[in-house]
A and B are shown apart, each in its own frame.
Chain A
Amino acid sequence: MICLGIESTAHTFGCSLVDSSGKVLSDSRDAYKAPEGSGIHPREASRHHIEVCSDIFLNSLSSAGLSMKDVDIIGYSMGPGLGPCLRVGAVVARTLAGFHKKPLVPVNHALGHIELGSMLTGASDPLVLLVSGGHTMMLVFSQRRWRVFGETLDITIGQLLDQFGRAMGFASPCGGKIESLAGQSSGKYTQLPYVVKGNDVSFSGLLTAAKHSAASNRLEDVCYSLQETSFAMLAEAIERALSFTGRKEMLIVGGVSANRRLSQMLESACERHNCKFFSCPIKFAGDNGAQIAWTAMQDYQSSGKSVLVKDATVRQSWRLDLVDVGWRG
């Protein structure tokens, strides 16, 4: 069985073919690039998606050497995400499903990150840290759902990095630029607000303080302090969740998992709790079609459920802990 996955929640439009063993047969994508100093404009991003969608789709077929005849089901990301962007993916999905008469399976984008990450790394029952522009959540699976153990109370770690970067005049996404600047720092640490509330974290005060700090300190040192503070908060929250749940595996997924310093800190935190650390391969850390295809595949194989073309809408706000996951024990 082969599934076509269509991803379009934010800056990335991606199509990918995955087979039922989890082999990624193709992975085509293109990301909207925001002008320097500004973020993703939903309308501009959706316009980008419209422009690239047919090329990306055709490329996902040709690079796998397959045609639509070989595709058995179509998965698309229904949400959460930016409305105009999601709608492009949904239109593509509805069109293909209607024309080629294939079952259509809606997928929660965040669940896609977790499912692909655990399949690629082989983590079986991990504590998951989902870190991206849209999410900062710690989750464990229990009784058919991913349960939230802790999350951000305001902005996400991705937003913290992006909004700080944008204030400094970088182009979104800014995580990579901040990481490389931090690497050039002399290691001078300026105290920034460290806010852990129980299992939850809060980054909004840290964002404001970091922007202020940039006025009187070297940018490299501020980037360094920003990373040190925010990642240590996450590492501590993870330690709390590990010690509470007693999980022996930890998996990090989502765009920010590409940051090496964060991985390094989490690895050290896991070591203290004799916990195995898994990180989603960098290639699949960011948004991609494969996460949608693989999740749709598992959903369809376990439930046999699909939606009618007329019901294949989008859900901009769709919390992960409201999704029933029938295929996990």
Chain B
Amino acid sequence: MQRSLIRRGAEADIFAVDWHGKKAVSKIRLPKQYRHPDLDLAVRRQRTVHEASLMSAAKAAGVVTPFMYFVDPLNCEILMEFVGGPNARDVLTAGLCKKMGSYSAMLHAKNIIHGDLTTSNFVVSNQLVLLDFGLSYYSQRIEDVAVDVRLIKEAFTSAHVSLKDSFESFLAGYLEVAGEKQTARVVEKVREIEQRGRYARVV
């Protein structure tokens, strides 16, 4: 199979491949030299299987994600639809932030925690597409929901300092789906987690 490297991610390599005449993407988790082989294999295999099942679940929840063609747990590889378009990190607008908020709320409504909600995991195609469910899991705990939201807040306040009110736009989108009461609960929990952080200002 002909393949060319698109992106070397943190834990997986993304290749462009041909899947029966269709342009597709292969996401493969190659072994990491620095990790103990037992730990390495356990982490890679578990994430591949989880990612595949949670990606389908996210689709059912109403979030746009790439279509999956094939999953190979032995090689730790997933073959999926190729989504063209710029990375949301590079073209971030208030409108995109809002949409990200709605997507997150849809996932959370179905107890799906994305686990890696950062602006670089969204692609702007004709729709906004959410990628990378490698760290996703199911949870009903408000704590886990808030950790998810806190992560993207961290991205907004570190990588997108110049875009004003990005997190507020995100919350506006979140509120549209989750409603006022749930959003307030999440925001309160995020605040609590930040307070728990090291050397957070004790008010």
Contact = CB atoms under 8 A, between A and B. Distances in A.
Given A149-B158, A228-B35, A268-B33, A200 B8 contact: no
A235 interface: yes
Interface string A288-329: 000000000000000000000000000001111010000000
A99 interface: no
Contacts of B154: 148-150, 198-199
B181 interface: no
Contacts, number: 109
A273 B8 contact: yes
Interface string B1-35: 00000001111000000000000000000001111
B157 A317 contact: no
Contact of A197 (B38, B89, B151, B161): B151
A229 to B, nearest CB: 7
Interface in B168-200: 193, 196-200
Contacts of A265: 34-35
Q: Label chain A's interface by main secondary structure.
A: mixed
Interface string B137-151: 000000000011001
Interface of B: 8-11, 32-36, 38-39, 42-43, 89, 115-118, 120, 135, 147-148, 151, 154, 157-159, 161-162, 193, 196-202
Given A236-B32, A244-B118, 8 more contacts: A142-B158, A142-B161, A153-B196, A196-B135, A197-B151, A231-B34, A239-B10, A264-B34
Interface of A: 80, 134-135, 140, 142-143, 147-154, 156, 189, 191, 194, 196-200, 225, 228-229, 231-232, 235-236, 239-240, 242-245, 264-266, 268-269, 272-273, 317-320, 322
